[in-house]
A and B are shown apart, each in its own frame.
Chain A
Amino acid sequence: MDSDTTATKSHPHRRPPDTPFSADSAEHAPALHSTPRLRAGWWRALLAPGFGVLLLVLWDVVAQSGLYADFIVPSPRAVADRWWDLAGDGSLTRHMAVTLREVLVGLLAGVNAAFWSGYLIAKSRLVANILMPYLVALQAVPIVAIAPLLIIWFGPGFTSKVLICALLVFFPMLVNTVLGVRNIPSELRDLMEALESTPLQTFWYLELPASMPIVIGGLKVSATLSVIGAVVAEFVSASEGLGYLINFGRGTFDTPLVIAAVFTLTVVALALYGLASWLERLLLAWQNAGRSVHN
């Protein structure tokens, strides 16, 4: 080996250098080619909203055609008016708040219970052997079927709704937690052991952050399921909430009310999912490190 290799200090790249042939070298491309590409981007951004408008127009055409009675297919305008009325007299916010409270408490309770039981199952084969058969059986039971039972036991109030919601979000969170904690590389466990870390330190410095990507994946699924849980519970028995509103609208042939409530529920579910995604971006920002830049 040449002696001058010893003197050569490496200058490592922070990121691999761009290859000259990579597809993202737009600035090297002639202007003629970059203009259509820009326009194509504009089109793509308009495609999804455009499709939405098309559906809305179709809906309006069907409603105006007179093929169906108003209480079966109300026009988009009728639904919007109904929604506006509800929002105006404050009843929409009241019902939404009721459902949201059930959803949030149920989600938090279910996700918490699932995380800790998942953690114990992942850590202890004994706990796994004892609990897993029952948890799988519980998952096999349709929640809708046991909702009436829970309402008999816990009354038609807040508690039974939270329980149904928590039961529904439990399983996906549990499965993901078990996977996340079991998949931690044994080399990292060795490292922690070699540093004489306490069980609490191992949890805080290794197990929690290492399992976070998969656990948050479970949280996102659970967030959407929690809305379903609350609505199912309200269907069975309730005097307020968006699920109750839907039930009430159906009973009184107030179809615009049903559709307005469904839209509101969708917004709530999307907001929850967005919240979970935001949490993901916040906690897992490190996952974006070292990605190459495209487009």
Chain B
Amino acid sequence: MSGNPSNAPILAAHHICHTYSGPSGDVVALDGVTLDLSRESFVCLVGPSGCGKSTLLRILAGLLKPSRGQATLDSHLITRAQRRIGVIFQKANLMPWRTVYGNLALPLQLIGVPANEQARRTQAMLELTGLNRFAGAYPAELSGGMAQRVAIGRALIHDPEVLLLDEPFGALDALTREQMGEELLRIWARHRKTVLMVTHSIPEAVLLADRVLVMSPRPGQVVLDLPILLPRPRTLDLLHQPEFVALTERLRHHIRPN
């Protein structure tokens, strides 16, 4: 153990391989992925579609058992899903029979938080996500961006230390997407979570992350680990700065060498 625990990796993957077997033969999705996330860092994972990013995230979340290798949380083997790791999926994945309030409160109900504490924290989350006016609305009444905001609020409400996001803004239009990215940054800066986010947008990755990991086409491996040393707080103004453009170009070449 190092003397400074905040620098020790909180989440790590060691030589993870994963093979899906299907009727049309076996698919090797991951082939020896090793990575570690230091505490309170924001790491983005990019790579061509189908290279195994979602598979890796599901393994780290404890929702999928890898064929080989292991994932650890604070050096403990991850054998099943746990509340210390919050997961946000590509689809908002809300319960259509629950209101915004009910969806936000779900994790607290499952944990068994006392009712008055539940109400207080749900109210605070409604304010943080800017959904106050929609507390009583059902998911069918929400726009895509608002639904995804509920999903983020639901993942944050029980205060997990690690957040895993699988293309959380993938289904949103460009404008909403930028706005949500900034909101995520704001929340992350306030609550200091460890974040691993899969995205297919290179500018988004550079804008948000301390580190960008690039995966190779299937079978997936981490082929580049690029630190992003741009100063924070970052805003969309960065998008036109030469350093920013240089970083995105570099990443783009790694993903598509030609």
Question: Which B-chain residue is minimally distant from A185 (CB atoms)?
Answer: B93
User: Per-position contact with A for B137-165: 1 when CB-CB < 8 Å, else 0?
Assistant: 11111110110000000000010000000
Whether, in the assembled complex, B106 has its beta carbon less than 8 Å from a beta carbon of chain A, the answer is yes
Known contacts being A12-B145, A187-B89, is A194 close to B138, with CB within 8 Å?
Answer: no
Q: Mark B35-72, 1 if CB is under 8 A from A, else 0.
A: 00000000000000000000000100111000000000
Q: Choose from A1, A193, A194, A210 the contact partner of B236 (Cβ within 8 Å).
A: A1
| Interface size class, chain B | 35 or more
Q: How far is the CB of A181 from chain B (nearest CB, A)?
A: 15
Q: Is the beta-carbon distance between B110 and A191 smaller than 8 angstroms?
A: no
Range of interface residues on A (Cβ < 8 Å): 20 to 34
Assuming A12-B146, A196-B110, A286-B96, is B141 touching A3 (CB within 8 A)?
Answer: no
Q: Is A14 an interface residue (CB 8 A)?
A: yes
Q: Does B178 contact A206, Cβ atoms closer than 8 Å?
A: no
Given A5-B236, A206-B95, A10 contacting B134 (CB threshold 8 A)? no
Task: Indicate if A80 sits at the interface (CB-CB under 8 A).
Answer: no
Which B-chain residue is minimally distant from A3 (CB atoms)? B237
Of the candidates B87, B130, B240, which one forms a contact with A191 in the assembled complex, judged by CB atoms under 8 Å apart? B87
Residue of B nearest to A16 (CB): B143
Complexed CA–CA distance, A188 and B103 (Å): 12
Closest to B87 in A: A194
Contact, CB under 8 Å: B95 / A290: no
B138 A10 Cβ-Cβ under 8 A: no
Q: Which of B16-24, B77-85, B120-128, B222-230 is near enough to bind chain A?
A: B77-85
- Structural contact, A205 and B110, CB atoms closer than 8 A: yes
A5 and B181 CA atoms in complex are apart in Å by 13
- Cα of A286 to Cα of B98 in the assembled complex, Å: 8
State whether A15 touches B235 (Cβ < 8 A). Answer: no
Residues of B with C-beta under 8 A to A206: 95
Q: Check A187–B91 contact: CB distance below 8 A.
A: yes
Tell me whether A195 and B106 are in contact in the complex, defined as CB-CB below 8 angstroms, given that A6-B235, A188-B95, A209-B97 are known contacts.
yes
On chain A, the residues within 8 Å of B246 by CB distance are: none
Complex contact A289–B140 (CB within 8 A): yes
A290 to B106, CA, bound (A): 21
Residue contact A289 to B146, C-beta cutoff 8 Å: no
A183 within 8 A of B: no
Residues in chain A near residue B83, CB distance under 8 A: 194-196
Report the separation of the CA atoms of residues A209 and B62 in the bound assembly, to the nearest whole angstrom.
26
Contact B85 A194 (CB under 8 A): yes
Cβ of B168 < 8 Å from any Cβ of A?
Answer: no
Residues B141 and A290 in contact, CB atoms below 8 Å apart: yes
Q: Judge whether B145 and A15 touch: CB under 8 Å.
A: no
Interface residues of B in 202-258 (CB under 8 A from A): 235-237, 239-240
In the assembled complex, the CB of A43 is this many whole angstroms from the nearest CB of chain B, namely: 34
CB distance from B188 to the nearest CB of A (A): 17
Cβ of B1 within 8 Å of any chain A Cβ, yes or no, is: no
A9 to B95, CA, bound (A): 26
CA distance A65 to B53 in the complex (A): 82
Q: A6-B235, A187-B89 are in contact. Are A194 and B110 (CB under 8 A)?
A: no
Check if B110 sits within 8 Å of A201, measured CB to CB. Answer: yes
Contacts of B178 in A (CB 8 A): 1, 5-6
Shortest Cβ gap from B163 to chain A (Å) = 11
Interface: A197 (CB within 8 A): yes
Q: How far is the CB of A78 from chain B (nearest CB, A)?
A: 51
Residue of B nearest to A291 (CB): B140
Least Cβ distance of A180 to chain B in Å?
13
Q: Which interface residue of A9, A12, A195, A290 has the most chain B CB atoms within 10 A?
A: A195
Question: Which 8 residue pairs of A and B lie closest in terms of their CB atoms, listed nearest first?
Answer: A290-B140, A289-B138, A290-B141, A194-B81, A289-B140, A286-B97, A12-B143, A187-B93
Additional 15 contacts, C-beta under 8 A, given A3-B236, A12-B146, A191-B93: A1-B239, A3-B235, A9-B179, A190-B63, A194-B63, A194-B81, A194-B85, A195-B107, A195-B111, A197-B110, A209-B97, A286-B97, A289-B141, A290-B139, A290-B140
Q: B residues touching A (Cβ–Cβ < 8 Å)?
A: 58, 61-63, 80-83, 85-87, 89, 91, 93, 95-98, 106-107, 109-111, 130, 134, 137-143, 145-146, 158, 175-176, 178-179, 182, 235-237, 239-240
User: Which residues of A are at the interface with B, using a C-beta cutoff of 8 A?
Assistant: 1, 3, 5-6, 9-10, 12-15, 185, 187-188, 190-197, 201, 205-206, 209-210, 212, 284, 286-287, 289-291
- What are 28 A-B residue pairs whose CB atoms fall within 8 Å in the complex? A1-B178, A1-B239, A1-B240, A3-B235, A3-B236, A3-B237, A5-B175, A5-B236, A6-B179, A6-B182, A6-B236, A14-B137, A190-B58, A192-B110, A193-B63, A193-B80, A193-B81, A194-B83, A194-B87, A196-B81, A196-B82, A201-B110, A210-B95, A284-B97, A286-B97, A286-B98, A286-B138, A290-B141
